[in-house]
Homo-oligomer: A and B are copies of this chain.
Amino acid sequence: MSYFNLSKAEIESEREKLLKQYEDYKNKGLSLNMARGKPSPEQLDLSQPMLDSIKSSDFCISEDGTDCRNYGGFEGISESKELFSRILEADPENVFVGGNSSLNMMFDTISCFMTAPIYDDTVAWHDVKDRKFLCPVPGYDRHFGITGYFGFEMIPIPLNADGPDMDMVEKLVSSDKSIKGIWCVPKYSNPTGITYSDEVVRRFASLKPAAKDFRIMWDNAYAVHDVTDTPDTLLSIVDECKKTGNEDLPILFCSTSKITFSGAGVAALAASPLNMKVLKKRLQFATIGYDKVNMLRHSKFFKNYEGLLEHMQKHKKILAPKFETVMKKLNENLADTEIADWTNPNGGYFVSVNVYKGTAKRVVELCKEAGVVLTGAGATFPEGKDFDGKNIRIAPSFPSVEELSLAMDIFCVCVKLACLEVLV
């Protein structure tokens, strides 16, 4: 029954029923955390064999003859560059392999441009006092954290089912020289799980920015992270930009954080020769080279890109039932109330739920009191400002299916309760 057709008395009775359920949950003294997109221990266990892929009896020599234990190998070992070039769909020579975090590489990229002009006739972004960055919303809080830290004004761009509102992006980017970039999670976007359509990717590749040094931060974090048998496909931004002569627009990022170990994976970026020149000018002073033994460990474990894709099937097996559980619970408990809507992604790490306008904060609060920790309401917006107060990110990967099932029951009760508190 739609909550919007309820009489005052029905609302009261529904609320009483829910409050009773809520109290029962609260009394269980639960402690479930769905705040972050963390792989479960079971997923991490999938990569335990990797720990044996370099033993004390092994030589740590890469394909190109580098002793991975010693200094050197600035750009990463060749087998790593090759592997990441497949994930990022970029030429290996345009790939730079880093440490354990693509977030760190994104931070360093923005940090680089803060003090180093990209072109001879542009200035360091630190010197652009009204610098701005476009932020598709809902989006990834840690992206917004980076540009927030560096003092950018962040302009929210609605993220639709096929990607960011490109009319708005084109209009802003072509008219405002102080807009220096945009954050994108083009495949299985964090948190809505949508994938940019071919049309959207082509429009990105065709942008005519007013700022010569405008850059697209293309965080392909979930490039190979399907959870259903009908996976999305993403057009290659590198290929499209080649066609439009806009090779310097995008900088691509990815990592094995959600492939092997989130705390001990390998990250990489891909960039055009021009962008790479600016980044390497910095990197050559910032490092002699990142952890090559861990790069080799990964390459030996996967053998090749096909091996990595096979490995992802094992993640899918673990994650699919969790996403199905979230869908089932949302459908069962919320569909007919008409007070919420949500995405049904084919991959990634999140489900995005829009609850009744203005109640997101209350839902998160109610959940917390019942022992279910969610991502903070508003976190998916720059500076936490969700003006509609309705978006909540569900991260189903870490809990077990049983825990998740219970957590979703509680979540749905809280969504309904928070709405009724307003409707009453």
Q: Is A387 an interface residue (CB 8 A)?
A: no
Query: Chain A residues in contact with chain B, CB under 8 A?
Result: 36, 38-39, 41, 44, 47-52, 54-58, 67-73, 99-101, 103-104, 107-108, 111, 114-115, 124, 126-127, 142, 145-146, 148-150, 257, 261-264, 281-282, 284-294
Contact in complex: B285, A263 (CB < 8 Å): no
Are B99 and A263 closer than 8 Å at their CB atoms? no
Given the complex, which residues of B lie within 8 Å of A39, measured CB to CB?
A: 70
Across the interface, do A73 and B290 meet the contact criterion of CB distance under 8 Å?
A: no
State in angstroms the CA–CA spacing of A48 and B55 once bound together: 8
User: What is the bound-complex CA distance between A263 and B150, given in angstroms?
Assistant: 31
> What 4 A-B pairs have minimum CB-CB distances, sorted nearest first?
A264-B293, A69-B261, A107-B286, A48-B56
Q: Across the interface, do B261 and A70 meet the contact criterion of CB distance under 8 Å?
A: yes
Bound: A51/B70 CA distance, A: 14
- Least CB separation from A40: chain B residue: B70
Interchain CA distance A58-B47 in the complex, whole Å: 12
Query: Are A69 and B291 within 8 A (Cβ)?
Result: no
Chain B residues, CB < 8 A from A70: 38-39, 41, 44, 261-263
Stoichiometry, copies per complex: 2
- Asked if A69 and B44 sit within 8 Å, CB to CB, the answer is yes
Q: Contact at A149–B68, with CB atoms within 8 Å?
A: no
B69 touching A286, Cβ below 8 Å: no
Residues of B contacting A72 in the complex (Cβ-Cβ under 8 angstroms): 263
- When the two chains form the complex, which single residue of B262, B282, B293 contacts A71, counting CB atoms closer than 8 Å? B262
Whether the pair A69, B264 counts as a contact (CB closer than 8 A) is: yes
**Which of B100, B149, B281 interacts with A290 by CB under 8 Å?**
B100
| Contact (Cβ within 8 A) B286 A104 | yes
Contacts of A124 in B (CB 8 A): 126
Most buried by B among A52, A148, A257: A52
Report 30 cross-chain contacts, Cβ distance below 8 Å, ordered by A residue. Answer: A36-B71, A38-B70, A38-B71, A41-B67, A41-B70, A44-B70, A51-B54, A51-B293, A52-B55, A69-B262, A72-B263, A99-B99, A101-B288, A103-B288, A114-B115, A114-B126, A115-B126, A115-B150, A126-B127, A142-B288, A145-B284, A145-B285, A148-B285, A149-B282, A261-B293, A263-B289, A263-B292, A264-B293, A291-B291, A294-B294
A127 contacts which chain B residues (CB < 8 A)? 126
| Complex contacts, A101 vs chain B, CB 8 Å | 287-288, 290
Q: In the complex, A177 Cα to B103 Cα: how many Å? A: 35
Q: How far is the CA of A54 from the CA of B261 in the complex (A)?
A: 14
Q: How far is the CA of A150 from the CA of B286 in the complex (A)?
A: 11
- Kindly state the separation between the CA atoms of A69 and B124 in the bound complex, as whole angstroms: 37
Q: How far is the CA of A99 from the CA of B108 in the complex (A)?
A: 14
A293 and B108 alpha carbons, distance in the complex (Å): 23
A99-B290, A103-B287, A287-B107 known; A55-B51 Cβ under 8 A: yes
| A150 partner residues in chain B, CB cutoff 8 A | 115
Smallest CB–CB gap between A267 and chain B, Å? Answer: 11
Q: Compute how far the CA of A52 lies from the CA of B55 in the bound complex, rounded to whole angstroms.
A: 6
Contacts of A73 in B (CB 8 A): 263
Q: List, in ascending order, chain B residues with CB within 8 A of A67's CB.
A: 41, 44, 263
